[in-house]
Amino acid sequence: MADEHKNENSFDFCAEFEDMMHSRRLESVIILAHRNPDGDAAGSALGLAHYIRDVYPQFQVYPYLSEALDKGPKRVARADKAFPQVFACPPWQGLRYAAIVCDTATKERIVGAEIYQNAQATLVIDHHLMNEAYGDRNYTVPRESCAENIFSILDWEKWKRAQGDSDPAGGLGQEGHPNAVDYLYLGMLHDTNCFQRVGQGGATFYAASKLMELGVDHKALVKTMHVETFEDLKKRHAILGRAKRVFDGKVAYVFLTKEDCENNHFEYEDIHPISGFLRDCDDIELAFTMFEEEPDLWRCSFRSDGEWINTNELLNPFGGGGHKGASGLRKKSKEPGKLIDEILKRVAEMKCIDGPDSMFRKESLT
């Protein structure tokens, strides 16, 4: 991992950014995030885009997000008057620009990989334990959200001064369209699930209260957490009905083939939150979903409290990972049952549970 981990406060975004732009004589910056962006990816990228736009009006800023953005955050982004083109690929060809990548652990997960590759200078800001330490500069600190990391490296006095007396900061609360502080708050809200998961020491609440002081509309943003329809809940019911439980019920998982998903109209956004719901059950410690994204390509999402088992360590041998309590894995396999067995075997090893292999998965997959 990058050296910056050693000293969390050593990173001064404004100094780094100014140096990057001036030394390469750049006038444009493109801000990227990960595939299937969530509230934190969007909040980080758009929050930073707004900050740069406000503080450095001499530069052209292009945030770029995949349209697969989660529904709630997407509503906020759709109301954005500054960056209405956020879902369209920016005009990078023939342009000299810097690329800033937010909330993305590996180069492979960047949406706009070509944009990243052709940038004159790159900066990565992230919070994933397994960040590859890529980019010319890489600031990765394992906090709960990337947005909190961005909050901590920005100069808010500079931002306030940039607004000027006659031009208030606006934001969702005042003007009905989101600004830098709204987006960073949005990112924190989503990656902590409404502050249910925060680290010790109060840094997240400090950031949240500071952002509120700067004008965040909490009520409007918290609504982005609850965007399910009745139909969504019925699908959730059907997916939860497929859950299998092992290790005295402590581990729960849902296995879905492409055929099953197509027949029942289960989409990525229906499946993705399921492991979180299961993990939050009082009698479940680890939960995961495994679904066939493409034929024989299995996409898995793991959730724990981060203490009972470290999901990043659990998945590293399989080529996946992420955070202590939330990790992902994408793997090609013609034998998904075997993959589940191997994962459950590793759970047993890590938790020192013994028993014959056949105990791990009691029921057949179909």
Selected from 70, 80, 103, 148, the binder of Mn ion by CB under 5 A is 103
Q: How far is the CB of 73 from Mn ion (least distance, A)?
A: 12
247: left (phi over 0), alpha (psi -120 to 50) or beta: left
Q: How far is the CB of 254 from Mn ion (least distance, A)?
A: 23
Stretch that binds Mn ion, among 26-34, 38-46, 78-86, 301-309 (CB under 5 A): 38-46
Nearer to Mn ion, 222 or 238 (CB): 222
Q: How far is the CB of 211 from Mn ion (least distance, A)?
A: 17
Residue closest to Mn ion (Cβ): 40
Q: Where are the alpha helices (DSSP H) in the chain?
A: 13-23, 39-55, 71-78, 113-117, 146-153, 156-163, 171-175, 180-191, 203-213, 218-222, 230-240, 258-264, 268-271, 274-279, 311-315, 336-350
Nearer to Mn ion, 28 or 192 (CB): 192
Q: How far is the CB of 68 from Mn ion (least distance, A)?
A: 15
Under rule CB under 5 A, residue 146 binds Mn ion: yes
What are the two backbone dihedrals, phi and then psi, of residue 100, each rounded to the nearest 5 degrees?
A: -115, 125
Stretch that binds Mn ion, among 21-29, 188-196, 304-312, 327-335 (CB under 5 A): 188-196
Q: How far is the CB of 18 from Mn ion (least distance, A)?
A: 26
Nearer to Mn ion, 31 or 146 (CB): 146
> 322: how many CB neighbours lie within 10 A of its CB?
18
Q: Are 12 and 82 in contact (CB under 8 A)?
A: no
Residues that bind Mn ion (rule: CB under 5 A) add up to a total of 4
Which residues lie across from 110 on neighbouring strands? 34
Q: How far is the CB of 89 from Mn ion (least distance, A)?
A: 22
Under rule CB under 5 A, residue 148 binds Mn ion: no
DSSP sequence for 236-292: HHHHHTT-EEETTTTEEEEEE-HHHHHHHT--HHHHTTHHHHHHTSTT-SEEEEEEE
Q: How far is the CB of 190 from Mn ion (least distance, A)?
A: 8
Nearest by Cα to 315 from 292, 288, 279: 288
Q: How far is the CB of 323 from Mn ion (least distance, A)?
A: 8
Under rule CB under 5 A, residue 40 binds Mn ion: yes
How far apart are alpha carbons 141 and 121 in whole angstroms? 21
Selected from 148, 182, 191, 285, the binder of Mn ion by CB under 5 A is 191
Contacts with Mn ion, 192-231, as mask; x by CB under 5 A: ----------------------------------------
Nearer to Mn ion, 116 or 266 (CB): 116
How far apart are alpha carbons 164 and 69 in whole angstroms? 33
Stretch that binds Mn ion, among 99-107, 193-201, 298-306, 324-332 (CB under 5 A): 99-107
Q: Are 210 and 154 in contact (CB under 8 A)?
A: no
Question: In terms of DSSP bridges, do strands 121-126 and 97-102 run parallel, antiparallel, or are they unpaired?
Answer: parallel
Stretch that binds Mn ion, among 22-30, 37-45, 113-121, 245-253 (CB under 5 A): 37-45
Cα 110 from chain centroid? 12
- The residues binding Mn ion (CB under 5 A) are 40, 103, 146, 191
